[in-house]
Amino acid sequence: MTAAAAERSPTLLCRDCLGWFPKRSLESCLSCGSPRLIQHDELSGLTIAHIDCDAFYASVEKRDDPSLAEKPVIVGGGQRGVVSAACYIARIDGVHSAMPMFKALEACPNAVVIRPDMRKYTAVGHEVRTLMREATPLVQPISIDEAFLDLTGTERLHKAPPAETLARLVARIQEEIGITASIGLSYNKFLAKVASDIDKPRGFSVIGRAEAMTFLAPRPTTVIWGVGKSLHRKLLNDGLRTVADLQAIDEVELVRRYGTMGTRLARFSKGVDDRQVELTSKAKSVSNETTFKTDLTSAEQLIPALWRLCESVSASLKHKHISGQVVTLKLKTADFRSLTRRTNLAAPTQLADTLFRTALALLERELDGRRYRLLGVAVSELGEERDADPLDLADPDAGRRKKAEQAIDQVREKLGRSAIKKGRGFGTVIRPQSSRRPHHPRR
Amino acid sequence: MKFTIDRAALLRPLGHVQSVVERRNTIPILANVLLKAGNGRLSLTATDMDMDIVESVDCNVNGDGTLTVPAHTLYDIIRKLPDGSEVSLEATGEAGRVSVTAGRSSFTLPALPADEFPAMSGEDLPHRFSMAAADTKSMIDRTRFAISNEETRYYLNGIYLHATEANDVAVMRAVATDGHRLARVEMPLPDGAAGMPAVIIPRKAINEIHKLIENTEGEVSIALSDSKLCFAFGDTVLTTKLIDGTFPDYERVIPSGNDKTLMVNCKIFANAVDRVATISTEKSRSVKLQMNEGILVLSASSPESGTAREELEVSYSAEPIEIGFNSRYLLDIANQIEGEGIIFSLADAASPTIVRDQDDDSSLYVLMPMRV
């Protein structure tokens, strides 16, 4: 857009009546009186958005039970679980997601705790996604309740700039689905995501090209996607506290110090991100994990839990019509040490039985009296369903077990998940040969 | 203890035993070779606790005794000495030191007391028989490529050796499989092997045995129990633990009703597969075989590297069929076929295929197809 065109294009949008106004400082909308105005010089030229539902699980629960509206609501698992979502009332007391439940309840004793109902949230998430896709076909879901949208070229279709289409979209989400969402609008994914986080809930924040550098400068380096705990510590050690500190360093130097991550630090710190909004952000792995009510240590306790996890991961693989070739076992000890162990399978699988046999062999090596608070199973190196579980010359019974599992799946499809269960799930432990390796420690 | 020996005479047995020693050891003495001098002989022993090799050789003993020195270091020293050197090894006055001298070179190595060296328990091995070294080598060659690396199914990490009957003849069979291919080789049952337990010999022992009998002729003697196997050849004795597991019931996966027969010249086939596989993706290495009356078309394609196609004249008269295989697996098998022709017995694109040597019934290979 030329400077002259920018001068002419409207820069002020009312989020309620969707009216546009030329640049002017206004307290409230001239036509409807709403104070919810967005003003930005680049407002009609920005096309990449990040939409994030506000306290998603908690919002869905409040929608379904109006009596919760004014109460602090926490969605999450039992005594040992963590907070999956906290409504904004609970957040006032300092509750946040991923916080251990007991701490959350200390901070907010009168909170209403609700067990997560993933099936319901998934359904609502899909409704939200459907509305998003009406705004643009280029929707890249990041999780159940957030997505990137590329609205480039949708002006003609909607006869409105992306900002207006987005404002209309969140209004529809609120009206038709009954939950609220926040928008970040910018010229790339990184900044759109940063923006959506600025003004939650029901936010609409804009970061334009003109101010991207100065906007990012004072922020901590953790604002950059990919800067986690350990890199953050490393950066602090090197005297790099804010994005401004990164902006001051040459890309070559950052690459020398931090490898490939250096490129990202250099570019993102200057507001440059070339990643496209992609239609499918393909999952790299399928996993499930469980935190126990009390720490577990014995095979008899852990194996039934392992079987249930394998069944659930297998069910996801089957549901998505995919298979995986690498099985990873995850454990967290009572003193919060995480460990993962992985095995490469001879062929991709989809079967709970195969996952279980493989994961069990990994688990048994770690059963040495240590106490575990968490157990998880993940499958990666995902591939197509038709490559899964081919005939195995070394396992003449594999075909029979595969048929048995398919029969169980069919019964469950008709009669429900609990219609038929394996003894393994209850604690009857019959171990396959593969896991009974006589232990020869390396000497 | 002191002895002198010709470099070449020491290098050979040392080369054999040192390869048992693991490069990384948590127990220091396992990195050492045990040297025993006496009666004009030197005996060398190395172990990794799962197997050991003992080899002896003539030498000039100037003082009986036993000690242990780092195996790889000693091997490297002897290897680098000029041919024809006379090596002498002596326990120095200083405790824990051994000197190695040859011509103007001299070395001092740390030694560990011999009584700390772990000995494999010498249990009774009730089943004893002997085999021609050439037969042993051929059995290993034709099966070991199919041994699995999969850690979880440790019972596939070796060759399954057992006595059985084929067409009312007593045979000894060696079988290996990794789930994708299976190799089965048999030979007439040696005298004394009847009643032997079925055993799984670990890959490392197989490879060491193969090294020992490479380029040699003569007989090897084998003694075994259900947990240990002892292999003796010339001045060398290799003892290995056996894999404690149950080998799958492989007979059940060998198809019997494959009715489509393809016969092809082995060399021509192998060369064509190798050429076409240039294009196969690194990951799958798949090639497609399309058979039609008298014609086999080999082809491969990958999005990155293009396409390849080659036509061979073959003997095939069943209905047309299309099937994919891992090219490396095809070549592994073709490399072991000594006759002029390979016979494929096929059922369909999703079922196991049998591969045989046209001139030799003693080996049989089963290959799982790939989707192409």
Q: Write the pLDDT tens digit of every residue in B280-290.
A: 877 778 999 99
Under CATH, what is the fold of the domain A3-53+120-206?
Alpha-Beta Plaits (3.30.70)
C-beta neighbour count of A180 within 10 angstroms: 20
Q: How far apart are CA A297 and CA B22, in angstroms?
A: 34
Q: What is the pLDDT of residues B178-199, one digit of tens each?
A: 999 999 999 999 999 999 999 9
Residues of B with CB under 8 A from a CB of A: 25-27, 30, 49-50, 148, 150-156, 177-182, 244-246, 248-250, 252-253, 350-352, 366, 368, 371
Q: Give the mean pLDDT of chain A.
A: 87
pTM across the whole model: 0.69
Which ranges constitute the DSSP H helices of A29-99?
A: 56-64, 88-92
User: How far are the Cα atoms of B13, B44, B326 from residue B34, in angstroms, in the given order?
Assistant: 12, 6, 45
A242 or B283, higher pLDDT: A242
The single residue listed with the structure tokens 């890199």 is A231
**C-alpha to C-alpha distance for A49 and A150, rounded to whole angstroms:** 6
Residue contact A393–B50, C-beta within 8 A: no
**Is the predicted pLDDT of residue B125 greater than 60, yes or no?**
yes
Q: In angstroms, what is the C-alpha Rg of chain A?
A: 25
Q: Among this protein's residues, is A146 annotated catalytic?
A: yes
The pLDDT assigned to A439 comes to 46
User: Residue A4: its pLDDT value, please?
Assistant: 46
DSSP summary character for residue B34: E
The answer to whether the peptide bond before residue A201 is cis (omega within 30 degrees of 0) is: yes
Q: What pLDDT sits at residue A416?
A: 73
SS3 state at A272: coil
* B50–A387 C-beta distance less than 8 A: no
Give ∠ CA A113-A114-A115 in degrees, rounded to 5: 125
Q: Where in chain A is the domain with CATH 1.10.150.20?
A: 219-269
- Identify the residue among A323, A393, A400, A437 best suited for mutation to test binding to B, counting B beta carbons within 10 A and taking the highest: A393
Residue type, A20: W
**In DSSP terms, which residues pair with A296 in a beta bridge?**
A372
What distance in Å separates the CA atoms of residue A193 and residue A204, rounded to the nearest whole number? Answer: 11
Please state the rounded mean pLDDT for residues A291-302.
Answer: 90
Helix, strand and coil percent figures for chain A, each rounded to 5: 40, 20, 35
Block residue for tokens 């493989």 = A358
**Contact of B37 with B3, CB cutoff 8 Å:** yes
Structure-model confidence comparison of residues B120 and B307, the more confident one: B307
CB-neighbour burial class of residue B24 (10 A; exposed 0-12, middle 13-18, buried 19+): exposed
B26 or A305: whose pLDDT is higher?
A305
Q: Which CATH class is domain A219-269?
A: mainly alpha
In angstroms, the CA B2 to CA B90 distance is 4
Q: Which residues pair with B350 in a beta bridge?
A: none
Average pLDDT over residues A348-352: 94
Give the model confidence (pLDDT) of A49-102 as tens digits.
999 999 999 999 999 999 998 999 999 876 578 898 999 999 999 998 888 888
DSSP secondary-structure letter at A100? Answer: B
Is residue B51 within 8 Å of residue B238, measured between CB atoms?
yes
For A440, counting Cβ atoms within 10 Å of its Cβ (0-12 exposed, 13-18 middle, 19+ buried), the class is exposed
ipTM score: 0.85
Give the per-residue SS3 of B113-174: CHHHCCCCCCCCCCEEEEEEHHHHHHHHHHHHCCCCCCCCCHHHCEEEEEEEEECCEEEEEE
pLDDT given at position A427:
56
Vertex A121 angle, CA A120 and A123, to 5°: 65
Is A440 part of the contact surface with chain B (CB cutoff 8 Å)?
yes
Residue B337 β-bridge partners? none
Chain mean position to CA A122: 12
- Non-local (6+) Cβ contacts of B310 within 8 A are B272, B275, B276, B297, B298, B299
Handedness of CA B310, B314, B319, B322 (dihedral sign): negative
Residues of chain A with CATH 3.30.1490.100: 285-442
Ranges assigned E (strand) in A15-89 = 20-21, 37-39, 48-53, 73-76, 83-86
- Structure-derived torsion over alpha carbons of residues A213, A215, A216, A218, reported in degrees to the nearest 10: 120
Q: What per-residue confidence (pLDDT) applies to A8?
A: 55
Q: Binning pLDDT at 50, 70 and 90, where does residue A278 land?
A: confident
pLDDT reading at A418 higher than 80: no
Q: Dihedrals φ, ψ of A80, to 5°?
A: -95, -5
With an 8 Å Cβ cutoff, are B244 and A438 in contact? Answer: yes
* A400 Cβ under 8 Å from any chain B Cβ: no
pLDDT higher than 80, residue A404: yes
**Res. A181: pLDDT tops 90:** yes
Q: How far apart are CA B206 and CA B223, in angstroms?
A: 15
Q: What is the least distance, in Å, from the CA of B251 to any CA of chain A?
A: 9
For A393, which residue in chain B has the nearest alpha carbon? B179
Q: State whether residue A199 is helix, strand or coil.
A: coil
Q: What's the sign of the alpha-carbon dihedral A278, A282, A284, A287?
A: positive
Q: What would the CATH number be for the domain defined by A285-442?
A: 3.30.1490.100
Q: Where in chain A is the domain with CATH 3.30.70.270?
A: 3-53+120-206
**Which residue type does B195 have?**
G
| Cα–chain center distance at B218 | 18
Residues of B with CB below 8 A from A387's CB? 371
High-pLDDT (> 90) share of chain B, %: 85
Does residue B336 carry a pLDDT above 50?
yes
Q: What share of chain B is helix, strand, coil (3-state, %, to 5)?
A: 20, 45, 35
